[in-house]
């Protein structure tokens, strides 16, 4: 043992209570003496002795330093370390005989930590109530196996600190996450706090991301001027400053004091006190003592947990295995069973040990099968693997297991021992059966849906084909599977179909396209085809799944709808909407390509008289006849439209003045013959106005206005003729 460590830093110096750390000689339960392994500054002050005089010395070598109530000091420490239980006694320190309450407890193998607190009624003693609470806390802290009441501690410290609110955060140092949060001082404001933060702020739900928390600040206490300042430093990005300032104003908050508990570079917990505005922290020394006691408790609990994990490592690993793991004698008596098998039998591993497997939920037939398998195992002395074994439990359930049995030699018994690992594959067997059933149902479903489904082995070869597609081909699914698509389709589907197939195989990306396919009788149908590649582990396409919906009827309906939208209902020619859309496009292209557009605007001269004489039905017949004659006189490339009433127009993209004049003359020739309605003969005279873009106008509105003005000039001068916007006019007969 090294007894010359007086110059080493003492980790107990930061504690405000007097502390000593003793090392026991030999094994703890057979120790004969105790040695000073650590002394903090507070102990030096109370005992009136320097640590250099104590470190490395036996307690027997410093008589009179600590006097006990009739107990031998070394024996007290040895008994404490050997039992591992905390002990409490009274003693006198130093030559002044300062009376203290001392609490000692085991602090690891061969180590005892003692804490000395001045007893009531003696010099330098704190208030009686505070000391009693401190002792009660220390007793709770040192009770092995009991959890510290952090909520109660937080409430007490909040009162001692004179704080408006107190917050205790406990962390999982391994996972770096908030485990628990306790808040003191809410006093009925829980709902208000929940509305502010959007979550419950007590218990285990908290939106803070500990990854953003400050680590390793090196100080256990930090004071911030406000709640928002603390949040910016310790929890950046968690809450907006405006929200925290609003909370501070609502509750009159001022400074925020943070006490941090760290161990080996990891944060174990935080105590945060939100003080009233203009007031400082009260009872800081007592609060620090409580917080550091809590830190010692946390560190001790963590150390004990680590030791227990090391002792139970094998058992823990075995219990984590989802399969049944057990040791048993050849007659079925369990020596060891893991948690998985115990859970299956509704018991605990400890309860199974020493009992035979026949005591649990197996039928006599299953037990006989066990004994026979174990007998053969012992005789052959070889590992036996049963890949699939059916078992019946006592309650009639059927389970399936995969088992491995190994003969295991134990030196302290002559009875044969078997190590077994048994995996429950009931779910797998059930899943395989379900997969088979689902596959059959899926195939049946595929054969009863109208969507065409087929798989491609390669761009030219079918895999599986559902009935809708095979009927389209005029084949059965079996006749189509594995066949060349070109032969089955009569090579009538076009190269685009096969090009799309190759594209999906080459790019490994899905594709949607509208394609025309012909059925077994050669009739074309329009399909929306979706191709989805299925890749293997090597990333290559194994197959392409195709789903095709027959959209022939939909396309026909869309075309009918389009015709209705852009067609004049009475005459069957283009309507006003289509005219202006086409004119917008024509004017834009003319401007981009430096070409021209001609518009011929027409209005019948005597339509009102015809309509009044013949009636509305007669007027409609006149307009229909006019549309037919206009269609006959239309030059190639022109678009004839009815704008409304008896107004018509011709749009001529790429045409100039000569073509427009020629178009006007042809129309006038078509209307040189009268229209006969019953006993009436009507001359179908009309006035036409011609405008050219960009010569007469630059925009659609300007172009229509120019053509309209040209047409009205014809009407003003006698009707039955045509005129250009920037040129002359021509009568119904003769030249321009």
The answer to whether 641 and 575 have CB atoms below 8 angstroms apart is yes
Q: Which residues contact 37 (CB under 8 A, 6 or more apart)?
A: 5, 21, 22, 23, 55, 111
| Cβ atoms within 10 Å, residue 710 | 25
Backbone torsions φ then ψ of 301, nearest 5 degrees: -60, -40
The answer to whether 5 and 55 have CB atoms below 8 angstroms apart is yes
Tell me if residue 149 is catalytic. no
In a 3-state reduction of DSSP, which class is residue 166?
Answer: strand
Backbone torsions φ then ψ of 335, nearest 5 degrees: -95, -40
In a 3-state reduction of DSSP, which class is residue 217?
Answer: coil
In a 3-state reduction of DSSP, which class is residue 265?
Answer: coil
Backbone torsions φ then ψ of 258, nearest 5 degrees: -115, 125
Which value, to the nearest 10 degrees, does the dihedral of the CA atoms of residues 635, 638, 639, 642 take? -50
Q: What whole-number distance in Å separates Cα of residue 245 and Cα of residue 252? A: 10
**Choosing from 169, 646, 696, 708, which is the catalytic residue?**
646
Nearest to 144 by CA among 9, 6, 340, 305: 305
Question: Edge-to-edge strand order for the sheet containing 66-68?
Answer: 34-39, 18-24, 111-118, 98-106, 87-93, 66-68
Which value, to the nearest 10 degrees, does the dihedral of the CA atoms of residues 43, 46, 51, 57 take? -90
What does DSSP say about strands 647-653 and 639-644: parallel, antiparallel, or unpaired?
Answer: antiparallel
Tell the burial category of 367 from Cβ atoms under 10 Å away from its Cβ (0-12, 13-18, 19+): middle
Which DSSP state fits 492? -
Which value, to the nearest 10 degrees, does the dihedral of the CA atoms of residues 505, 506, 508, 509 take? -100
Backbone torsions φ then ψ of 358, nearest 5 degrees: -65, -15
Specify the long-range contacts of residues 312-319, CB closer than 8 Å, at least 24 apart.
319/349
Q: What is the CA radius of gyration of the chain?
A: 49
| Cβ atoms within 10 Å, residue 136 | 11
Cα-to-chain-centroid distance, residue 315: 35
Q: What whole-number distance in Å separates Cα of residue 249 and Cα of residue 164? A: 12
Which DSSP state fits 574? B
Cα-to-chain-centroid distance, residue 128: 56
Backbone torsions φ then ψ of 454, nearest 5 degrees: -150, 150
User: Could you write out the three-class secondary structure of 607-650?
Assistant: HHHHHHHHHHHHHHHHHHHHHHHHHHCCCCCCEEEEEECCEEEE
Q: What whole-number distance in Å separates Cα of residue 526 and Cα of residue 524? A: 7
Omega before 694 within 30 of 0, i.e. cis = yes
Question: Edge-to-edge strand order for the sheet containing 165-172?
Answer: 177-184, 165-172, 266-276, 253-263, 221-224
The number of residues in the chain equals: 736
Q: Which residues contact 162 (CB under 8 A, 6 or more apart)?
A: 275, 276, 279, 281, 282, 283
Q: What whole-number distance in Å separates Cα of residue 22 and Cα of residue 109? A: 11
The answer to whether 92 and 98 have CB atoms below 8 angstroms apart is yes
The answer to whether 90 and 104 have CB atoms below 8 angstroms apart is no
Nearest to 362 by CA among 375, 376, 373, 377: 373
Question: Which positions are catalytic?
Answer: 646
């Amino acid at each position: 043992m090294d007894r010359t460590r007086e110059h080493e830093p003492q980790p107990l110096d930061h504690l405000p209570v007097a502390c000593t750390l003793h090392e026991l000689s030999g094994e703890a339960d057979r120790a004969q003496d105790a040695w000073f392994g650590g002394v903090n500054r507070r102990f030096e002050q109370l005992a009136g002795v320097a640590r250099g005089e104590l470190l490395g010395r036996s307690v027997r070598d410093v008589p009179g330093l600590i006097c006990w109530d009739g107990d031998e000091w070394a024996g007290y420490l040895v008994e404490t370390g050997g039992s591992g239980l905390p002990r409490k006694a009274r003693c006198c320190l130093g030559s002044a005989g300062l009376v203290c309450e001392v609490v000692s407890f085991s602090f690891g193998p061969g180590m005892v930590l003692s804490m000395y607190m001045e007893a009531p009624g003696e010099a330098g003693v704190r208030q009686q109530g505070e000391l009693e609470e401190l002792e009660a806390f220390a007793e709770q802290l040192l009770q092995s196996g009991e959890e510290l009441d952090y909520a109660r501690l937080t409430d007490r410290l909040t009162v001692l600190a004179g704080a408006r609110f107190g917050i205790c955060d406990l962390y999982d140092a391994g996972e770096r996450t908030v485990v628990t949060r306790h808040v003191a001082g809410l006093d009925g404001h829980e709902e208000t706090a929940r509305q502010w933060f959007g979550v419950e702020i007590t218990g285990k739900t908290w939106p803070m991301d500990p990854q953003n928390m400050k680590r390793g600040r090196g100080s256990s206490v930090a004071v911030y001027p406000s709640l928002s300042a603390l949040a910016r430093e310790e929890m950046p990005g968690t809450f907006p400053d405006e929200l925290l300032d609003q909370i501070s104003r609502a509750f009159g908050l001022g400074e925020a004091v943070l006490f941090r508990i760290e161990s080996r570079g990891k944060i174990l917990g935080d105590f945060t006190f939100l003080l009233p505005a203009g007031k400082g922290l009260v009872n800081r020394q007592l609060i620090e003592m409580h917080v550091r006691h809590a830190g010692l408790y946390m560190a001790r609990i963590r150390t004990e947990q680590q030791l227990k994990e090391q002792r139970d490592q094998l058992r823990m690993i075995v219990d984590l295995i989802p399969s049944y793991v057990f040791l048993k004698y050849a007659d079925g008596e369990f020596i060891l069973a893991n948690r998985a098998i115990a859970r299956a039998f509704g018991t605990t591993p400890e309860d199974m040990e020493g009992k035979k497997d026949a005591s649990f939920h197996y039928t006599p037939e299953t037990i006989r099968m066990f004994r026979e398998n174990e007998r053969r195992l012992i005789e052959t002395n070889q590992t036996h693997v049963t890949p699939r074994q059916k078992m019946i439990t006592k309650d009639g359930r059927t389970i399936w297991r995969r088992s491995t049995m190994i003969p295991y030699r134990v030196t302290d018994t002559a009875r044969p021992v078997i190590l077994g690992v048994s995996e429950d594959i009931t779910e797998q067997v059930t899943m395989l059966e379900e997969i088979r059933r689902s596959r059959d149902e899926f195939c049946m479903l595929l054969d009863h849906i109208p969507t065409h489904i087929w798989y491609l082995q390669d761009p030219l070869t079918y895999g599986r084909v559902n009935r809708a597609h095979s009927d389209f081909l005029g084949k059965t699914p079996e006749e189509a599977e594995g066949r060349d698509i070109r032969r089955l389709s009569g090579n009538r589907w076009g190269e685009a179909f096969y090009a799309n197939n190759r594209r999906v195989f080459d790019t490994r990306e899905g594709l949607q396209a509208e394609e025309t396919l012909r059925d077994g009788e050669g009739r074309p149908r329009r399909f929306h085809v979706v191709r989805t590649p299925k890749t293997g582990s090597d990333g290559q396409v194994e197959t392409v799944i195709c789903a095709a919906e027959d959209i022939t009827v939909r396309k026909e309906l869309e075309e009918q709808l389009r015709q209705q939208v852009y067609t004049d209902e009475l005459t069957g020619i283009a309507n006003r909407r289509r005219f202006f859309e086409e004119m917008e496009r024509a004017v834009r292209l003319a401007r981009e390509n430096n070409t021209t557009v001609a518009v011929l605007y027409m209005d019948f001269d005597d339509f009102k008289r015809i309509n009044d004489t013949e009636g509305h039905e007669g007027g409609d017949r006149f307009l229909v006849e006019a549309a037919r004659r206009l269609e006959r006189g239309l030059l190639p490339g022109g678009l004839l439209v009815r704008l409304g009433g008896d107004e018509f127009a011709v749009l001529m993209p790429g045409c100039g003045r000569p073509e427009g004049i020629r178009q006007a003359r042809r129309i006038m020739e078509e209307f040189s013959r009268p229209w006969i309605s019953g006993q009436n003969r009507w001359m179908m005279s009309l006035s036409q106005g011609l405008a050219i873009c960009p010569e007469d106008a630059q925009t659609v509105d300007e172009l229509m206005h120019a053509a309209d003005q040209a047409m009205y000039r014809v009407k003003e001068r006698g009707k039955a003729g045509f005129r250009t916007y920037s040129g002359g006019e021509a009568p119904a007969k003769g030249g321009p």
